[in-house]
Homo-oligomer: A and B are copies of this chain.
Amino acid sequence: MTTTTALSHVDRMAKRAAGFQPSPVRAVFDISMQPGMISLAGGNPYLPVLPMDRIATMAGEVLARRGLEALQYGSGAGTEELQALICQVMELEGIKTAPENVQITAGSQMALELVTKLFCDPGDVVIAEGPTYVGALGVFEGFQAEVAHVAMDNDGVDPDRLQEVISGLKAAGKTIKFFYTIPNFNNPSGISLSLERRQRVVDICRAEGVLIVEDNPYGLLAFDGEAKPALHTLDPDNVFYLGSFSKIFAPGLRVGWVVAPQDVRGRLQIASEATTICPSVLSQLVVEQYVSGFDWRGQIAAYSAVYAARCQATLDALASHMPEGTLWTTPSGGFFTWVTLPEGIDTERVLAAAIEAGVVFVPGSAFHADGGGTNQLRIAFSYAQEEQLTEGVKRLGEAIRSV
């Protein structure tokens, strides 16, 4: 064996480390901090809607009353009280499950990391909507899983297309581990899977032996307040459900969860303990207070009202400023709309012109593992004020015309 002393750190890394390289998307978030820049990029919740004085009081009380618990190591599963409260939250989407099936994590991103770690060997396939969440693609890449996309129309993934993709992958000898889906107000498309299609998607996956990972951070943020039943309700044994307090409360606490059948939940807990020992107990107790001693349903309605108005301002501005032949989705909840420019317009090139014009967004290619989405882009309307959204879309229109 030759000496290895001359190897760089990068040379010594594991094969999977090739998946941890800086992406162009990361630069967008740095650029969005520049003065005068309007950001349509980041999907941050609009926290000024929270009554901060009450949250501050809550946190002080948690430490004054339960400080020794809040600051000590806790159960690797999460606190029993929060497990039970999460079950109450999920009831709004029709989910009936036992608290012990809930594994609490440091955000639902970590729940996806754990599920992928538990199920995916290198070369295994994950099926995902096209487009899908960029942070999920990062997780799959980190475990050397291949991603196959299923295109969406305005009702979500077409079950016939899902069946074709599964059959094609199996014919090619691939091992499919799960179908990753954001069924409500999809990030980045804003599209929701229609009620009619939900049963068929679940049936196909069950028949084909493909697990479903249902990622649902936005489900309770419907502009009309009507939550759709979760896929989990249709096949609890085959659907792992990921939930989060980041959008219905606050992301800075990092509290999310995964619901999984008992034979999986046990291993998820061991995997979770290997990663963080336990979720932040202080964060969990603050969330307990929020769900048990505060009108959190009213808070969700307050958030949704803000996002509905911002969505409408964005759609109006798109109608005024986009060139002919541009299409966009009309979300009924969540944080995002998805813009499709006429064929041949490269949104990475548009981005460079847009930054010159004082607006940033995330190009569509970021949400595809297969090079798709080059003439598409995501607009996040959750964080910027209505006037900023209007001005930002105007600048975007000018940038598109300049390319």
Contacts and interface: CB of A to CB of B under 8 A. Distances in A.
Q: Is the interface of A mostly helix, strand, loop or mixed?
A: helix
Contacts of A62: 59
A270 B138 contact: yes
Contacts of A70: 252
A251 B72 contact: yes
Interface string A64-92: 10011111111000000000000000000
A294 interface: no
Interface in A103-139: 106-107, 109-110, 113, 117-121, 124, 135, 138-139
B5 A109 contact: no
A305 interface: no
A177 interface: yes
A263 B72 contact: no
A28 interface: no
A179 to B, nearest CB: 13
A251 B67 CA distance: 12
Given A8-B263, A71-B55, A121 B15 contact: yes
A267 B23 CA distance: 11
Interface in A1-28: 1, 3-10, 12-17, 20-22
A121 B14 contact: yes
A211 B264 CA distance: 35
Interface size class of A (residues with CB under 8 A): 35 or more
Interface string A262-295: 0110110011011111111111001000000000
Given A9-B261, A71-B251, A71-B253, 14 more contacts: A9-B264, A14-B120, A14-B143, A16-B117, A42-B73, A50-B67, A52-B68, A72-B250, A109-B275, A110-B276, A251-B277, A275-B275, A282-B282, A282-B283
27 contacts: A1-B173, A5-B207, A9-B264, A10-B263, A12-B119, A14-B119, A14-B120, A14-B121, A20-B270, A22-B270, A42-B73, A44-B72, A50-B71, A52-B67, A53-B64, A56-B67, A59-B59, A59-B62, A73-B246, A110-B276, A135-B274, A135-B277, A138-B274, A142-B274, A252-B280, A254-B276, A254-B280
